[in-house]
Amino acid sequence: MIARPLPRQRRSHPVAWTLLIVTFAWTVDHVAQPLSPHRFGAPRRVASAAGAPMAARAVAYARSQVGKPYQWGAEGPGAFDCSGLVWAAWRHAGLGWERMTAAGQWQALHAHEVARSALRPGDLVFFAWRLGDWRSIHHVGLYVGGGLMVEAPRAGADIRLSSINRAGWFGAVRPGGDAG
């Protein structure tokens, strides 16, 4: 019997691995739903058909938080950040989605976008550093009517009523649908 050398094993090509990683990263960034940075588990779709009574409950809840402190990553009851405040308000009203950043909320809800001229109490209003790039959204507030929103503005500032007429306006959504 003649001993033959074993066939040479093929090695993975580094370019193939790079392409695989880049493709995966693009898919996660452009296709996948944003996961909550605060909770584990699969994201839930936003419930539909939120009406005026639900919006009124969300607004009442947000208004009742005025004067409480801002705390990054907080979702109540003693303190909130901006996305935690609007999330808690709508959750209190009976409409839930996974807890996520302001940019994540825009990405999850932008199918229900409403024009600035069609705002109703309960709509979420978003502000960004770069208009046209949802990933630069840094702030969200809950519209309460009359050009005002309830917001958790930043560290060192309490939850307050503020004008929506400021730099960085990105857009607005109506949780639950009925976009107008």
Residue 95: pLDDT band with limits 50, 70, 90: confident
- Rounded to whole angstroms, the Cα distance separating 124 from 88 reads 12
Q: Hunting for tokens 């392409």 — which residue is that? A: 19
Q: Taking the model in full, what pTM does it have?
A: 0.71
| End-to-end Cα, the chain, rounded Å | 82
Sign of CA dihedral 80, 54, 42, 23: negative
Stronger pLDDT, 35 or 153, i.e. the higher one: 153
Residue of higher predicted confidence among 17 and 177: 177
Q: Band the pLDDT of 48: cuts 50, 70, 90.
A: very low
Cβ atoms of 99 and 75 closer than 8 Å? yes
Interior angle at CA 115, CA 27 and CA 57, nearest 5: 90
Give the integer Cα–Cα distance in Å for 61 and 55: 10
The DSSP output letter for 143 is: E
pLDDT at 132: 87
| CATH number of 52-173, picked from 3.30.70.1710, 3.30.70.380, 3.90.1720.10, 3.30.420.130 | 3.90.1720.10
Q: What percent of the chain has pLDDT over 90?
A: 58
Q: What residue ranges do the domains of the chain occupy?
A: 52-173
